[in-house]
């Protein structure tokens, strides 16, 4: 329960292991997409120039996800509905 409060942990206790993994995958993908959005079309040297040698380390304000996330969520919904 690293960093998760007990009441938050109980909220997900009824989910199967597969459901928890899927939720984690979707959440991780959305976060990665939002982090990558500001540098999506930049070359490595441009990223280093703008953000330093380590690149983006924090989510910039107003950095929503991209169409990649939208498409992934639509596909996930379709798969869950049996399309």
Say what the pLDDT of residue 23 is: 87
Say what the pLDDT of residue 74 is: 92
- Spans in the chain with pLDDT lower than 50: 1
Contact 29, 69 (CB under 8 A): yes
DSSP 8-state secondary structure symbol assigned to residue 59 = P
Contact 12, 20 (CB under 8 A): yes
C-alpha closest to that of 63 among 36, 23, 43, 27: 36
Q: Which letter, b or e, does each residue of 24-56 get, where b requires 16 or more Cβ atoms within 10 Å of its Cβ?
A: eeeeebbeebbbebbbeeeeeeebeeebeeeeb
Is 33 within any annotated ligand binding site? no
Say what the pLDDT of residue 1 is: 45
Is 29 within any annotated ligand binding site? no
Say what the pLDDT of residue 4 is: 54
pTM as predicted? 0.65
């Amino acid at each position: 329960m690293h960093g998760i409060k007990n009441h938050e942990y109980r909220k997900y206790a009824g989910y199967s292991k597969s459901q928890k993994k899927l939720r984690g995958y979707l959440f991780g993908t959305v976060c990665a997409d939002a982090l990558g959005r500001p540098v999506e079309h930049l070359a490595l040297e441009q990223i280093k120039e703008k953000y330093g040698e380590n690149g983006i380390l924090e989510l910039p304000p107003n950095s929503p996800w991209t169409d990649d996330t939208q498409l992934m969520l639509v596909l996930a919904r379709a798969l869950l509905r049996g399309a």
